[in-house]
Amino acid sequence: MKQITIIVPSYNPDEKLAQVVNGLREGGFEDILVVNDGSKEECVHHFEEVAQYPEVTVLTHEVNKGKGRGMKTAFSYVLENRPESIGVITVDGDNQHTIKDIKYMAERMIEDPHTVFIGCRNFNDPKVPGRSRFGNKITSFVFTYLLHIPITDTQTGLRGTPKEYLSALINTRGERYEFETEMFFTLKDKGIPFAETTIETVYIEENETSHFHPFRDSWKIYKLIFRYMFKQLFSFLKFAISSILSFLTDYGVYTICLLLLTDRLPDRITLAVAVVAGKVLSSLVNFFLNWKVVFKSNSKFGGVILRYYTLWAVQTACSYGLITLVTMLVGREDSVLVKVLAKPVIDLLLFFLSYKIQKNWVFKRNAKKQDEPSS
Protein backbone atom coordinates (compact mmCIF):
# COMPACT_ATOMS: atom_id res chain seq x y z
CA MET A 1 0.00 0.00 0.00
CA LYS A 2 2.81 2.41 -0.86
CA GLN A 3 0.46 4.60 -2.92
CA ILE A 4 -1.83 5.48 -0.01
CA THR A 5 -0.94 7.73 2.95
CA ILE A 6 -2.78 7.02 6.20
CA ILE A 7 -3.54 10.00 8.46
CA VAL A 8 -4.32 9.46 12.15
CA PRO A 9 -5.27 12.69 14.00
CA SER A 10 -4.91 12.18 17.75
CA TYR A 11 -5.48 14.18 20.91
CA ASN A 12 -4.65 12.83 24.39
CA PRO A 13 -4.50 9.22 23.20
CA ASP A 14 -4.27 6.04 25.26
CA GLU A 15 -2.89 2.62 24.37
CA LYS A 16 -5.37 2.30 21.49
CA LEU A 17 -3.20 4.60 19.34
CA ALA A 18 -0.43 1.96 19.27
CA GLN A 19 -3.05 -0.69 18.47
CA VAL A 20 -4.24 1.35 15.49
CA VAL A 21 -0.71 1.94 14.18
CA ASN A 22 0.34 -1.69 14.61
CA GLY A 23 -2.79 -2.85 12.84
CA LEU A 24 -2.04 -0.52 9.91
CA ARG A 25 1.55 -1.77 9.71
CA GLU A 26 0.41 -5.38 9.77
CA GLY A 27 -2.12 -4.51 7.07
CA GLY A 28 0.69 -3.49 4.72
CA PHE A 29 0.49 0.31 4.97
CA GLU A 30 3.94 1.87 4.69
CA ASP A 31 3.21 5.59 5.04
CA ILE A 32 1.41 6.55 8.25
CA LEU A 33 1.14 10.16 9.45
CA VAL A 34 0.16 10.54 13.10
CA VAL A 35 -0.80 14.06 14.19
CA ASN A 36 -0.25 14.97 17.84
CA ASP A 37 -2.77 17.77 18.24
CA GLY A 38 -1.27 19.43 21.31
CA SER A 39 -1.78 16.47 23.65
CA LYS A 40 -1.00 16.59 27.38
CA GLU A 41 2.54 15.82 28.50
CA GLU A 42 1.47 12.52 30.09
CA CYS A 43 0.21 11.31 26.69
CA VAL A 44 3.33 12.15 24.68
CA HIS A 45 4.90 8.73 25.29
CA HIS A 46 2.20 7.17 23.09
CA PHE A 47 3.45 9.25 20.15
CA GLU A 48 7.08 8.48 20.99
CA GLU A 49 6.24 4.78 20.95
CA VAL A 50 4.74 4.78 17.44
CA ALA A 51 7.37 7.21 16.10
CA GLN A 52 9.97 4.44 16.42
CA TYR A 53 8.46 2.57 13.48
CA PRO A 54 9.95 3.38 10.04
CA GLU A 55 6.46 3.56 8.51
CA VAL A 56 5.37 6.31 10.90
CA THR A 57 5.91 10.08 10.81
CA VAL A 58 4.62 12.11 13.75
CA LEU A 59 3.52 15.71 13.14
CA THR A 60 3.07 17.85 16.24
CA HIS A 61 0.97 20.87 17.17
CA GLU A 62 2.39 22.64 20.20
CA VAL A 63 -1.15 23.46 21.36
CA ASN A 64 -4.49 21.84 20.65
CA LYS A 65 -5.90 23.23 17.40
CA GLY A 66 -8.67 20.75 16.65
CA LYS A 67 -9.19 17.67 14.51
CA GLY A 68 -9.85 19.71 11.38
CA ARG A 69 -6.59 21.61 11.66
CA GLY A 70 -4.76 18.36 12.36
CA MET A 71 -6.11 16.89 9.14
CA LYS A 72 -5.16 20.02 7.20
CA THR A 73 -1.62 19.90 8.63
CA ALA A 74 -1.31 16.34 7.38
CA PHE A 75 -2.81 17.23 3.97
CA SER A 76 -0.22 19.99 3.54
CA TYR A 77 2.56 17.62 4.53
CA VAL A 78 1.44 15.08 1.93
CA LEU A 79 1.36 17.71 -0.83
CA GLU A 80 4.85 18.91 0.07
CA ASN A 81 6.56 15.62 0.93
CA ARG A 82 4.73 12.70 -0.69
CA PRO A 83 4.91 13.11 -4.49
CA GLU A 84 4.31 9.38 -4.99
CA SER A 85 1.10 9.29 -2.93
CA ILE A 86 -2.17 9.11 -4.89
CA GLY A 87 -4.28 10.03 -1.89
CA VAL A 88 -4.91 9.84 1.83
CA ILE A 89 -7.17 7.90 4.16
CA THR A 90 -8.04 9.53 7.49
CA VAL A 91 -8.44 7.06 10.35
CA ASP A 92 -9.57 7.75 13.91
CA GLY A 93 -7.01 6.90 16.59
CA ASP A 94 -9.43 5.11 18.92
CA ASN A 95 -9.39 1.75 17.09
CA GLN A 96 -12.97 2.05 15.80
CA HIS A 97 -12.04 1.38 12.16
CA THR A 98 -11.15 -2.14 11.12
CA ILE A 99 -8.10 -2.91 9.00
CA LYS A 100 -10.37 -4.82 6.62
CA ASP A 101 -12.44 -1.68 5.95
CA ILE A 102 -9.35 0.52 5.62
CA LYS A 103 -7.71 -1.86 3.14
CA TYR A 104 -10.92 -2.09 1.12
CA MET A 105 -11.11 1.69 0.92
CA ALA A 106 -7.47 1.83 -0.24
CA GLU A 107 -8.24 -0.71 -2.97
CA ARG A 108 -11.22 1.38 -4.11
CA MET A 109 -9.03 4.48 -4.27
CA ILE A 110 -6.42 2.70 -6.37
CA GLU A 111 -9.16 1.51 -8.75
CA ASP A 112 -10.80 4.94 -8.91
CA PRO A 113 -8.27 7.68 -7.99
CA HIS A 114 -10.67 10.56 -8.75
CA THR A 115 -13.45 9.78 -6.27
CA VAL A 116 -13.66 10.58 -2.55
CA PHE A 117 -14.76 7.54 -0.54
CA ILE A 118 -16.74 7.88 2.69
CA GLY A 119 -16.86 5.00 5.16
CA CYS A 120 -20.44 4.82 6.43
CA ARG A 121 -21.68 2.91 9.47
CA ASN A 122 -25.05 1.18 9.85
CA PHE A 123 -26.94 3.20 12.43
CA ASN A 124 -29.65 0.57 12.74
CA ASP A 125 -27.08 -1.68 14.40
CA PRO A 126 -28.00 -2.20 18.09
CA LYS A 127 -24.33 -1.63 19.03
CA VAL A 128 -24.66 2.06 18.16
CA PRO A 129 -25.21 4.24 21.28
CA GLY A 130 -28.60 5.93 21.32
CA ARG A 131 -27.25 9.48 21.18
CA SER A 132 -25.09 8.64 18.14
CA ARG A 133 -27.95 6.84 16.35
CA PHE A 134 -30.42 9.69 16.85
CA GLY A 135 -27.98 12.49 16.04
CA ASN A 136 -26.64 10.91 12.87
CA LYS A 137 -30.09 9.99 11.54
CA ILE A 138 -31.34 13.54 12.00
CA THR A 139 -28.23 15.04 10.39
CA SER A 140 -28.34 12.53 7.53
CA PHE A 141 -31.98 13.46 6.86
CA VAL A 142 -31.08 17.16 6.76
CA PHE A 143 -28.16 16.56 4.38
CA THR A 144 -30.06 14.25 2.04
CA TYR A 145 -33.45 15.95 1.79
CA LEU A 146 -32.78 19.61 2.58
CA LEU A 147 -29.24 20.12 1.29
CA HIS A 148 -29.40 17.47 -1.46
CA ILE A 149 -26.13 15.90 -0.32
CA PRO A 150 -26.90 12.16 -0.15
CA ILE A 151 -24.85 10.87 2.77
CA THR A 152 -25.80 8.40 5.50
CA ASP A 153 -22.94 9.01 7.97
CA THR A 154 -21.96 12.67 8.29
CA GLN A 155 -19.52 12.23 11.20
CA THR A 156 -17.51 9.22 10.05
CA GLY A 157 -13.77 9.61 10.48
CA LEU A 158 -12.87 7.07 7.80
CA ARG A 159 -12.54 8.98 4.54
CA GLY A 160 -10.41 8.39 1.46
CA THR A 161 -9.45 11.52 -0.47
CA PRO A 162 -7.48 11.64 -3.75
CA LYS A 163 -4.44 13.88 -3.63
CA GLU A 164 -5.82 16.19 -6.33
CA TYR A 165 -8.54 17.44 -3.95
CA LEU A 166 -6.39 18.11 -0.88
CA SER A 167 -5.80 21.77 -1.75
CA ALA A 168 -9.54 22.39 -1.85
CA LEU A 169 -9.96 20.78 1.57
CA ILE A 170 -7.04 22.69 3.09
CA ASN A 171 -8.87 25.88 2.12
CA THR A 172 -12.19 24.66 3.52
CA ARG A 173 -13.43 26.35 6.68
CA GLY A 174 -13.44 24.55 10.02
CA GLU A 175 -10.68 23.75 12.49
CA ARG A 176 -12.34 21.21 14.77
CA TYR A 177 -15.04 18.58 14.31
CA GLU A 178 -17.07 20.95 12.16
CA PHE A 179 -14.45 20.56 9.42
CA GLU A 180 -15.77 17.07 8.69
CA THR A 181 -19.17 18.64 7.99
CA GLU A 182 -17.74 21.50 5.93
CA MET A 183 -15.95 18.89 3.83
CA PHE A 184 -19.28 17.72 2.39
CA PHE A 185 -20.20 21.29 1.43
CA THR A 186 -16.88 21.58 -0.42
CA LEU A 187 -17.51 18.30 -2.25
CA LYS A 188 -20.94 19.50 -3.37
CA ASP A 189 -19.97 23.07 -4.28
CA LYS A 190 -16.91 22.05 -6.28
CA GLY A 191 -18.55 19.07 -7.95
CA ILE A 192 -16.10 16.56 -6.44
CA PRO A 193 -17.45 13.02 -6.92
CA PHE A 194 -17.87 10.94 -3.78
CA ALA A 195 -19.18 7.50 -2.95
CA GLU A 196 -20.02 5.63 0.23
CA THR A 197 -18.47 2.37 1.36
CA THR A 198 -20.18 0.35 4.08
CA ILE A 199 -17.95 -0.24 7.09
CA GLU A 200 -18.27 -2.27 10.27
CA THR A 201 -19.95 -0.43 13.12
CA VAL A 202 -17.56 -0.41 16.09
CA TYR A 203 -18.19 1.46 19.33
CA ILE A 204 -15.73 0.84 22.16
CA GLU A 205 -16.96 1.52 25.71
CA GLU A 206 -20.00 3.38 24.37
CA ASN A 207 -17.59 5.75 22.61
CA GLU A 208 -16.53 7.25 25.95
CA THR A 209 -13.02 8.11 24.73
CA SER A 210 -14.35 10.37 22.00
CA HIS A 211 -13.47 14.07 22.38
CA PHE A 212 -16.70 15.04 20.60
CA HIS A 213 -18.76 17.32 22.87
CA PRO A 214 -22.44 16.50 22.20
CA PHE A 215 -23.83 20.01 22.71
CA ARG A 216 -20.95 22.33 21.85
CA ASP A 217 -19.78 20.48 18.74
CA SER A 218 -23.33 19.63 17.59
CA TRP A 219 -24.20 23.32 17.76
CA LYS A 220 -21.14 24.16 15.66
CA ILE A 221 -22.16 21.58 13.07
CA TYR A 222 -25.77 22.73 12.83
CA LYS A 223 -24.64 26.35 12.71
CA LEU A 224 -22.64 25.39 9.62
CA ILE A 225 -25.69 23.70 8.11
CA PHE A 226 -27.84 26.82 8.65
CA ARG A 227 -25.11 29.00 7.20
CA TYR A 228 -24.79 26.74 4.17
CA MET A 229 -28.57 26.79 3.63
CA PHE A 230 -28.51 30.60 3.82
CA LYS A 231 -25.61 30.67 1.38
CA GLN A 232 -27.58 28.55 -1.08
CA LEU A 233 -30.63 30.80 -0.66
CA PHE A 234 -28.52 33.91 -1.21
CA SER A 235 -27.01 32.37 -4.34
CA PHE A 236 -30.50 31.63 -5.65
CA LEU A 237 -31.61 35.20 -4.91
CA LYS A 238 -28.64 36.57 -6.86
CA PHE A 239 -29.55 34.25 -9.71
CA ALA A 240 -33.15 35.47 -9.51
CA ILE A 241 -32.09 39.13 -9.70
CA SER A 242 -29.78 38.38 -12.63
CA SER A 243 -32.62 36.54 -14.34
CA ILE A 244 -35.07 39.40 -13.72
CA LEU A 245 -32.70 41.90 -15.31
CA SER A 246 -32.17 39.55 -18.23
CA PHE A 247 -35.90 38.89 -18.53
CA LEU A 248 -36.67 42.61 -18.66
CA THR A 249 -34.16 42.94 -21.50
CA ASP A 250 -35.57 39.87 -23.23
CA TYR A 251 -39.21 40.83 -22.72
CA GLY A 252 -38.67 44.40 -23.85
CA VAL A 253 -36.88 43.40 -27.08
CA TYR A 254 -39.42 40.60 -27.67
CA THR A 255 -42.40 42.94 -27.29
CA ILE A 256 -40.88 45.68 -29.46
CA CYS A 257 -40.13 43.18 -32.23
CA LEU A 258 -43.69 41.88 -32.16
CA LEU A 259 -45.11 45.40 -32.34
CA LEU A 260 -42.79 46.41 -35.18
CA LEU A 261 -42.91 43.24 -37.31
CA THR A 262 -46.49 41.96 -36.93
CA ASP A 263 -48.35 42.35 -40.27
CA ARG A 264 -45.02 42.93 -42.02
CA LEU A 265 -43.76 39.35 -41.83
CA PRO A 266 -45.48 35.96 -41.54
CA ASP A 267 -46.61 35.25 -37.96
CA ARG A 268 -44.18 32.41 -37.25
CA ILE A 269 -41.22 34.32 -38.67
CA THR A 270 -42.18 37.36 -36.59
CA LEU A 271 -42.36 35.20 -33.47
CA ALA A 272 -39.04 33.54 -34.24
CA VAL A 273 -37.28 36.89 -34.77
CA ALA A 274 -38.80 38.31 -31.58
CA VAL A 275 -37.80 35.31 -29.46
CA VAL A 276 -34.26 35.04 -30.83
CA ALA A 277 -33.52 38.78 -30.72
CA GLY A 278 -34.68 39.00 -27.12
CA LYS A 279 -32.72 35.92 -26.13
CA VAL A 280 -29.49 37.07 -27.80
CA LEU A 281 -29.37 40.45 -26.08
CA SER A 282 -30.59 39.20 -22.71
CA SER A 283 -28.21 36.26 -22.79
CA LEU A 284 -25.19 38.57 -22.89
CA VAL A 285 -26.46 40.37 -19.78
CA ASN A 286 -27.27 37.06 -18.06
CA PHE A 287 -24.01 35.34 -18.97
CA PHE A 288 -21.67 37.94 -17.54
CA LEU A 289 -23.75 38.47 -14.39
CA ASN A 290 -23.93 34.74 -13.66
CA TRP A 291 -20.30 34.06 -14.52
CA LYS A 292 -18.77 36.87 -12.47
CA VAL A 293 -21.35 37.69 -9.78
CA VAL A 294 -23.71 34.78 -9.12
CA PHE A 295 -21.62 31.61 -9.46
CA LYS A 296 -18.13 33.16 -9.57
CA SER A 297 -16.92 30.32 -11.75
CA ASN A 298 -13.18 29.72 -12.03
CA SER A 299 -13.57 27.69 -15.24
CA LYS A 300 -11.99 28.94 -18.46
CA PHE A 301 -14.01 31.41 -20.54
CA GLY A 302 -14.10 29.17 -23.63
CA GLY A 303 -15.61 26.19 -21.83
CA VAL A 304 -18.08 28.29 -19.85
CA ILE A 305 -19.42 30.23 -22.80
CA LEU A 306 -19.75 27.07 -24.92
CA ARG A 307 -21.80 25.35 -22.20
CA TYR A 308 -23.83 28.49 -21.56
CA TYR A 309 -24.85 28.96 -25.16
CA THR A 310 -25.59 25.27 -25.58
CA LEU A 311 -28.10 25.63 -22.76
CA TRP A 312 -29.25 28.96 -24.19
CA ALA A 313 -29.99 27.38 -27.58
CA VAL A 314 -32.01 24.59 -26.00
CA GLN A 315 -33.86 27.03 -23.73
CA THR A 316 -34.61 29.35 -26.65
CA ALA A 317 -35.98 26.46 -28.71
CA CYS A 318 -38.13 25.36 -25.77
CA SER A 319 -39.45 28.89 -25.27
CA TYR A 320 -40.35 29.23 -28.95
CA GLY A 321 -41.89 25.77 -29.12
CA LEU A 322 -43.99 26.18 -25.99
CA ILE A 323 -45.27 29.64 -26.98
CA THR A 324 -46.21 28.26 -30.39
CA LEU A 325 -47.97 25.33 -28.74
CA VAL A 326 -49.96 27.66 -26.48
CA THR A 327 -51.12 29.84 -29.38
CA MET A 328 -52.16 26.74 -31.30
CA LEU A 329 -54.06 25.29 -28.34
CA VAL A 330 -56.05 28.49 -27.84
CA GLY A 331 -56.51 28.94 -31.58
CA ARG A 332 -54.93 32.38 -31.66
CA GLU A 333 -51.66 31.98 -33.58
CA ASP A 334 -51.95 35.55 -34.88
CA SER A 335 -52.62 37.15 -31.47
CA VAL A 336 -49.87 39.40 -30.13
CA LEU A 337 -51.59 39.53 -26.74
CA VAL A 338 -51.58 35.74 -26.29
CA LYS A 339 -47.90 35.58 -27.19
CA VAL A 340 -47.02 38.42 -24.82
CA LEU A 341 -48.93 36.85 -21.93
CA ALA A 342 -47.66 33.32 -22.56
CA LYS A 343 -43.98 34.15 -22.52
CA PRO A 344 -43.49 35.13 -18.82
CA VAL A 345 -45.32 32.01 -17.64
CA ILE A 346 -43.26 29.72 -19.85
CA ASP A 347 -39.96 31.41 -19.03
CA LEU A 348 -40.71 31.18 -15.31
CA LEU A 349 -41.01 27.41 -15.61
CA LEU A 350 -37.74 27.26 -17.54
CA PHE A 351 -36.09 29.53 -14.94
CA PHE A 352 -36.04 26.92 -12.14
CA LEU A 353 -34.67 24.23 -14.43
CA SER A 354 -32.04 26.62 -15.78
CA TYR A 355 -30.77 27.45 -12.28
CA LYS A 356 -29.94 23.83 -11.54
CA ILE A 357 -28.26 23.29 -14.89
CA GLN A 358 -26.20 26.49 -14.70
CA LYS A 359 -25.06 25.80 -11.15
CA ASN A 360 -24.16 22.14 -11.65
CA TRP A 361 -22.90 22.19 -15.24
CA VAL A 362 -22.47 25.54 -16.97
CA PHE A 363 -20.67 27.42 -14.18
CA LYS A 364 -19.42 24.39 -12.28
CA ARG A 365 -16.27 25.30 -10.34
CA ASN A 366 -13.02 23.53 -11.11
CA ALA A 367 -12.17 21.53 -7.99
CA LYS A 368 -8.52 21.01 -9.01
CA LYS A 369 -7.70 24.70 -8.83
CA GLN A 370 -6.48 26.44 -5.68
CA ASP A 371 -9.43 28.38 -4.35
CA GLU A 372 -10.08 30.82 -1.60
CA PRO A 373 -11.81 29.47 1.53
CA SER A 374 -15.51 28.79 1.19
CA SER A 375 -17.64 31.59 2.55
DSSP string, 185-229: HHHHHTT--EEEEE-----SGGGTT----TTHHHHHHHHHHHHHH
Task: Cite the residue boundaries of each domain of the chain with CATH code 3.90.550.10.
Answer: 4-212
pLDDT at 39: 92
Q: What is the pLDDT of residue 214?
A: 54
User: Which ranges constitute the DSSP H helices of the chain?
Assistant: 16-26, 44-51, 67-81, 99-111, 130-141, 166-170, 178-189, 216-261, 267-289, 301-329, 336-357
Would you state the pLDDT for residue 367? 47
pLDDT per residue rounded down to tens, the chain (375 residues): 789 999 999 999 989 999 999 999 999 999 999 999 999 999 999 999 999 999 999 999 999 999 999 999 999 999 999 999 999 999 988 888 899 999 999 999 999 999 999 998 876 666 665 556 666 777 777 787 777 788 888 878 899 999 999 999 999 988 887 888 889 989 988 889 999 998 887 755 544 545 455 556 566 667 777 777 777 778 778 888 888 888 888 889 988 988 898 888 888 888 888 888 888 888 888 888 888 888 777 778 888 889 988 998 898 888 888 888 888 888 776 677 888 888 888 888 888 888 888 877 888 765 444 333 333
Topology (CATH level 3) of domain 4-212: Spore Coat Polysaccharide Biosynthesis Protein SpsA; Chain A (3.90.550)
Q: Would you state the pLDDT for residue 329?
A: 86
pTM for the model stands at 0.65
pLDDT on residue 225: 75
Chain-centroid distance, C-alpha 80: 25
C-beta separation of 1 from 106 below 8 A: yes
Q: Give me the pLDDT at residue 159, please.
A: 95
